[in-house]
A and B are shown apart, each in its own frame.
Chain A
Amino acid sequence: DTAVSQTPKYLVTQMGNDKSIKCEQNLGHDTMYWYKQDSKKFLKIMFSYNNKELIINETVPNRFSPKSPDKAHLNLHINSLELGDSAVYFCASSPYQETQYFGPGTRLLVL
Chain B
Amino acid sequence: AQKITQTQPGMFVQEKEAVTLDCTYDTSDQSYGLFWYKQPSSGEMIFLIYQGSYDEQNATEGRYSLNFQKARKSANLVISASQLGDSAMYFCAMREASGGYQKVTFGTGTKLQVIP
Contacts and interface: CB of A to CB of B under 8 A. Distances in A.
Contacts of B103: 45, 48, 56
Given A41-B108, A50-B101, A97-B95, A88 B43 contact: yes
Interface SS of chain B? strand
A29 to B, nearest CB: 13
Nearest to B102: A97
B47 interface: yes
Interface SS of chain A? strand
Interface residues of B, number: 22
A56 B106 contact: no
B39 to A, nearest CB: 8
B18 interface: no
Interface string B19-37: 0000000000000000101
A42 B106 CA distance: 8
B108 A100 contact: no
Contact of B98 (A40, A56, A88, A101): A56
B101 A99 contact: no
10 contacts: A43-B91, A44-B106, A56-B103, A92-B45, A102-B44, A102-B45, A104-B43, A104-B44, A105-B45, A107-B43
